[in-house]
Amino acid sequence: MPKTSVKGKQMPPSPIRKLVPFAESAKKRGVHIYHLNIGQPDIETPQVMLDAIHNYPDKVVEYSHSAGIETYRKKLTKYYNKYKISLDFSEIIVTTGGSEAIEIAMMSCLDPGDEIIIPEPFYANYNGFSTQANVKVVPIRSTIEEGFALPPVNEFEKLITPATKAIMICNPSNPTGYLYTRDELEQLRKLVLKHDLWLFSDEVYREFCYDNKEYHSVMHLEGIEQNVVMLDSISKRYSACGARIGAIISRNKDLMAVALKFAQARLSPPTFGQVAGEAGIDTPDEYFVNVKEEYVRRRNFVVESLNKMDGVFCPKPSGAFYCIARLPIDNSDKFCQWLLESFSHENETVMLAPATGFYSKPELGLDEVRIAYVLNMDSLSKAMQCLELALLQYPGKKESAMETSAIRSEKQS
């Protein structure tokens, strides 16, 4: 029997989706699951986008330009202008989701064996994309005690080698919800300039910044315009995950010429997704005001509920719709599987993402989970009740006077 590829074997499984078989089995047993494991919001997609698809006028669904429909790219420049990001439409290539934008960016900027430094915990699929591109991810640790703030620049310096070619951030962050400050981005700017590195920034959650904190883009940084690559998606902005439309954006003409060749190889991004994305730019501001208010309510409830649970600690995120919580458990993979296999309350349970999948080493994140607060308040209330009861019943509960005292001190501070 022929063997599968070495690269295929090296591809990491999704920590977000690897528990799906256990969830499916639970559903077959009649257990209702509250899905807090994946960033699939229950917020309605803007009607203007759905109408554009329903009213598609053409009789043939044709290929678009490999860089994306020109009218859409031109309209996108007006969208970015709202965030003080000035672009020409030629500096935008539309992709099949933000995922393809990251893949193309890595393959366009990095050679096999090159290294990219990424603060961890990081979006798990960065590992997969780097494997596809034969690029080595070099993690730099951010901690729950510091709210997952950017590690000090001197720690980055320790990791830079001749093989280092890029730094990547997600702002606001998936999975932590951390929102980088202007000062932190300025520190990265100096580092990128000093070592002539690429700076990739995944900014798909820019609409969701809370507590009057301001969103700063890497596109605002001066003096490194040729080093910066912004990655984007309409999935979260408009709660349109299935539309599969993203973008790679850079003012570096050489990079964009190379990226276009990769875009040509896959022919074109999805037509209906682009039609929806173009219409989505006309979404009324009121939509985003209401959605943001809803996410703030959800965040506050979830974080406050978690921190009231015995032995649990969760910093309050300032962006996106995720948080990472430290739980009094021995192993987050085992715990999340146990929730689906062995636990239910009133025939309901909750599905979480083990944080181990967002770190580079298997021993990290063993007592942490990522929670996506993407469900309505009633569902979140029931999900938090399930989680609190589950922590009391879990056979691998980790508890000691020292640990409990330390966690309580963290909460008070």
**pLDDT confidence tier of residue 399, bands split at 50, 70 and 90:** low
Residue with tokens 């309605």, as numbered in its chain: 44
How much is the mean pLDDT over the chain? Answer: 95
**pLDDT confidence tier of residue 410, bands split at 50, 70 and 90:** low
Distance CA 383, CA 354 (A): 16
The yes-or-no verdict on residue 408 having pLDDT over 70 is no
Give pLDDT, residue 400.
Answer: 45
Average pLDDT over residues 263-285: 98
DSSP 3-state percent helix, strand, coil across the chain (nearest 5):
40, 15, 40
Give pLDDT, residue 12.
Answer: 85
Tally of CB atoms within 10 A around 11 = 12
**pLDDT confidence tier of residue 409, bands split at 50, 70 and 90:** low
Burial class of residue 17, CB neighbours in 10 A (0-12, 13-18, 19+): middle
Share of the chain above pLDDT 70, in %: 96
Distance CA 80, CA 220 (A): 11
Average pLDDT over residues 50-78: 98
CATH 3.90.1150.10 fits 6-44+286-412, yes or no: yes
Give pLDDT, residue 401.
Answer: 35
pLDDT digits (tens, 9 = 90+) for 200-212: 999 999 999 999 9
30: left (phi over 0), alpha (psi -120 to 50) or beta: left
Residue 309: both structure tokens together: 């649970």
CA atoms within 13 A on the CB side of 115: 11
Give pLDDT, residue 16.
Answer: 73
Distance CA 130, CA 56 (A): 37
47-280 CATH, one of 3.30.750.200, 3.40.640.10, 3.40.50.2020, 2.160.10.10: 3.40.640.10
> Residues spanned by CATH 3.40.640.10 within the chain?
47-280
> Residues spanned by CATH 3.90.1150.10 within the chain?
6-44+286-412
Give pLDDT, residue 398.
Answer: 81
**pLDDT confidence tier of residue 406, bands split at 50, 70 and 90:** low
Q: Which of 298, 395, 407 is nearest to 339 (CA)?
A: 395
| 276 three-class SS | helix
Average pLDDT over residues 282-303: 98
